[in-house]
Structure 1
Amino acid sequence: MAGLWLGLTAAAAAADEPRTFRDWMAGCDNVRTCAALSLPPEAAETVAYLRLERPAGPDGAPRLLLRLRGDWKKPPAALQFRLDGAAFPASGGPLPATADGDVITVTFSAKDAAALIEAARKATKLTASAPGVSGSISLAGSVAAMLWIDEQQGRLGTTTALIRKGEKTGAAPAPALPLVAATPVPPMLDMKAAKQQAARLRAELKKRSPDACEDDGADGDSAWSLGDKRVLVALSCSRGAYNFSSSFFIMPENDPARATPLRFADGDGDDGNDLTNASFDPRTGHLGFFAKGRGIGDCGVSGGYAWNGKGFVRTELAIMGECRGIAPEDWITLYRSTAK
C-alpha cells in the first residue's frame, strides 16, 4: 500500500494534482476539462456523491450527476431530493433515475444543475432518497471547488462562470486533444513462443540481479511480437492480494542480453518500467494499468499508453486518492488524448 501511494503521488505530481476543498475534490486534465466531486464520509453505509464536469471553452456546458449505491431488489425509477430539509427542485417532484447494477444515477437538467449550483452558496447538505435507502451529500467546499474550476478555465468575471460571474463574455479556448497514432502489432506469438521469450529474459535478469523479480510470478509472464524482430516482454515480478506488478521490456528476439526497460511517464511508479494490473491489447497497441488502493477498486490510479511503432506514449491518466466508494469512471481525469 505504501508503494502504491508513492506511485499516486508521482503520477499526480507529474500532471496537475487534484485539489481538496473540505468535503470536495477537484481537478483538471491537459485540455482543461475539469471535474469536481463530493467525497462521501469514510465507511458510509450508503455511498452517495455528486459529480460536476465541465469542458473548457466558451461552449463548455457543465454536466452534473448524482450516484447512489443501494441494495436494490428493484431499482427505483426516480429519486426524491431535499436541500437542507426543503424540497429540491422547488416543484418537489422526484427526478428520473437510471440503474446499473446496484448504482442509481440521476443526471440533472441544465436548469436544475444551475439551481443547485446557486443554492450551494448557502446550503449545507443535499439528501437523495428512494424507498428503503437514503444518501446524504455534504456541500461544504463545493463553492470553493467550482470557483477553482472557474479560475483554471479562465471564466472568472465572465457570464459563463459557475460562481464568480461578471459582465465579460466568453472564456479561454480549450486546447486541442493530443493526437496519438496507435499502431497494432503483428500477429501474436503463440503461447509456447511467448513463454520462451519471457523465460530467456527472466533467466538473464536473474543473473544480473537475483532479487529483482520474484520467481513465483513466472506463470504470469507474457510476450508479444512488435515487428522488426522486436518483442515486448512483461515479467510478473510482484503479487499482492489485489495488485500484481509487471516489469516491461523491449527485447530483440532471442537476445535477452540486449533487452531495454521501458519508461512509462506518469505511470503508477516513478517513471520506471513497472505497471500494476497491466493488460496489453495487440489488436490496438494499447497498454493499460489499474493500480488499486484497496480490493474493491474505489481508489488508486489508472491509465494507458499506445504503441506508436517506436515506443509507448501516454493516452490517459485518472486518479482517486480517497477510498470513499467512488467508481473508477468518476475519478479525476488528469490526461486524455484522441487516437488515430
Structure 2
Amino acid sequence: MRRSAGRSELRIALLLAAIGCAGAALAAGEAKLSEPKTFRDWMAACDNVKGCTALSLPPEAADSIAYLRLERPAGPDAAPRLILRLQRDGKTAPKAVQLKLDGAPFPAGGRTLPVTADDDAATLTFSAQDTAALIEAARKATKLSVTAPEVTATVSLAGSVASLLWIDEQQGRLGTPSALIRKGTTGSAPATPDLPLVAATPVPPMLDMKLGKAQAAKLRAELKKRKPDACEDDAAEADEAWALGGKRMLVALACSRGAYNVGSSFFVMPENEPAKAKPIRLPDSDGDDGNELTNASFDPRTGHLSFFAKGRGIGDCGVSGDYAWTGAGFVRMELSMMGECRGIPSEDWFTLYRSRRQ
C-alpha cells in the first residue's frame, strides 16, 4: 500500500485535537506539555514524568514499513529498550531478519535474528549489548537495512544521534555514565518523578438508550436556540447521554462528522434541565468551549472518557487520550500523539502524559 504524504493532514489533526486548544488546557489549570521534536528522519518526545521515546520515520511511501523505537524511563538505573518494528500490509510477517549497517553485517558475524511475529507485523527486541553497539555505530552509519524472505526495508539513521542526545538532556544524563550519547564518568540522572494519582469514579449504570437519546435531544434543541450553527443536524443520530449520579447527566452531542472522524461536544446537564447544561472543560479538547473530542467514547463502569482523533483514515497518525471522572469533573489520564503519517500504529505513538489510578 502506498501511503501519501501526511504532514498537512496531521497538522490539521493536531491543531484541532491538541495544540489549538492550549487555551482550554490552561483554563483548566493543566501544565503545558512538551511537544515531540523532529531531528531529520527521527522524532523524540518525553512525557510528564520524563519517560522518553525516539522513533525513526519510515519513508512516506513504502510497501514494507520498518522503524526503530528506543524508549527509556527516567531515573538513574533505567535502561534503554530498543526495538525494530517491521510491517507488511496483508502479508505474513517473517520469523527472522538479517541486518546491515551501511552494507556491513550487524551484529558482527551477520547472524540471523529471531523476531516475534503477529500477523503482518514483526518485532525484534535488541539485547542490551546490541543496543549499545547500534547506538555507537549510529554516530557514523547512515542506514540500517532489513532483509528477510520477500522483505527488504531500510531505516534511516539520520538524526538518530541528535534525538538521543536530546533525550539525555531532558533526563539530566548529559555527562553521566548512563548517558546514551555524551557520556561522562561521574554523576547520575535525577530520580524518577512520581506519576500523578487520579481517583476515577464509576458512575451509575448506563441509561436506557431511549431515555439517553431523549435527554440528548432536549439539549440539542436548547443549544440550537443559543448557537444555531454549533452542531450539524445530520450527526444527531450519534448523540448519547449517561447518568453521572445526583440527577446529573453527561451528554455528548455529535456536532461534526467526516469520513473517519466524528466530533462530539460534551456537557454536564441537570436531568431534564437543558437550559442549565454547562460544557465540560477538557485539556487537549477542541471547540470554542474546550469541550469537543473526536471519536470519543465514555465507559460508565470505570468513569473513563477516551478519544482518538485520526490524522487520516488508516489511523497511523493523530492524537489519542483518556480522562477520568472524579465526581466533580474530568481530569487527564493519558495523552499520546504521532506527528507524521508514516504507517506507525497507535501503540508506538509518543506518550506525552501518564498517570495512575487511585
Aligned length: 340
CA pair 209-10 structure 1, distance change in 2 beyond 3 A: closer
CA distance in 2, matches of 1:143, 1:130: 27
Q: What does residue 300 of structure 2 align with?
A: 282
Q: What does residue 325 of structure 1 align with?
A: 343
Once the two structures are superposed, residues 107-152 of structure 1 have per-residue CA deviations (whole angstroms, 9 ceiling, x without a partner) of: 1111111110111011100011110011100000000000000000
**1:77 is aligned to 2:87:** no
**1:226 is aligned to 2:244:** yes
Matches within 5 A, 1:1-340: 3-7=12-16, 8-10=18-20, 14-71=32-89, 74-267=92-285, 272-340=290-358
Tell which deviates more after alignment, 197-206 or 267-276. Answer: 267-276
Once the two structures are superposed, residues 181-222 of structure 1 have per-residue CA deviations (whole angstroms, 9 ceiling, x without a partner) of: 111101111111101110110010111111110111111000
Q: Is the 8 A contact 2:64 2:89 kept in 1?
A: no
Q: Is the 8 A contact 2:87 2:93 kept in 1?
A: no
**Deviation (angstroms), 1:74:** 4.2
Gaps of 5+ in 2: 1-8, 26-31
CA pair 11-65 structure 1, distance change in 2 beyond 3 A: farther
Q: For residue 51 of structure 1, what is the amino acid of its counterpart?
A: R
CA distance in 1, matches of 2:297, 2:92: 35
Aligned residues: CA RMSD: 1.6
Q: Is the 8 A contact 1:120 1:142 kept in 2?
A: yes
Q: For residue 219 of structure 2, what is the amino acid of its counterpart?
A: L
CA distance in 1, matches of 2:157, 2:286: 31
Matched-pair identity in %: 71
Q: Is the 8 A contact 1:264 1:271 kept in 2?
A: no
Q: For residue 221 of structure 1, what is the amino acid of its counterpart?
A: D
CA distance in 1, matches of 2:34, 2:94: 38
CA distance in 2, matches of 1:238, 1:25: 32
CA distance in 2, matches of 1:155, 1:60: 11
Q: For residue 206 of structure 2, what is the amino acid of its counterpart?
A: M
CA distance in 1, matches of 2:273, 2:170: 49
CA distance in 2, matches of 1:186, 1:9: 33
**Deviation (angstroms), 1:72:** 6.4
CA pair 10-61 structure 1, distance change in 2 beyond 3 A: farther
Q: For residue 299 of structure 1, what is the amino acid of its counterpart?
A: C
CA pair 329-311 structure 1, distance change in 2 beyond 3 A: same
CA pair 71-321 structure 1, distance change in 2 beyond 3 A: closer
CA distance in 2, matches of 1:46, 1:78: 15
**Deviation (angstroms), 1:268:** 5.1
Q: For residue 247 of structure 1, what is the amino acid of its counterpart?
A: S
Tell which deviates more after alignment, 209-218 or 28-37. Answer: 209-218
Tell which deviates more after alignment, 260-269 or 162-171. Answer: 260-269
CA distance in 2, matches of 1:36, 1:267: 26
CA distance in 2, matches of 1:3, 1:255: 35
CA distance in 1, matches of 2:253, 2:21: 22
CA distance in 2, matches of 1:72, 1:292: 21
SS in 1 for 2:228: coil
**Deviation (angstroms), 1:11:** 6.4
CA distance in 2, matches of 1:9, 1:29: 16
Once the two structures are superposed, residues 242-276 of structure 1 have per-residue CA deviations (whole angstroms, 9 ceiling, x without a partner) of: 00000000000000000000111123567710000
CA distance in 2, matches of 1:276, 1:59: 39
SS in 2 for 1:47: strand
CA pair 266-94 structure 1, distance change in 2 beyond 3 A: same
**Deviation (angstroms), 1:5:** 3.6
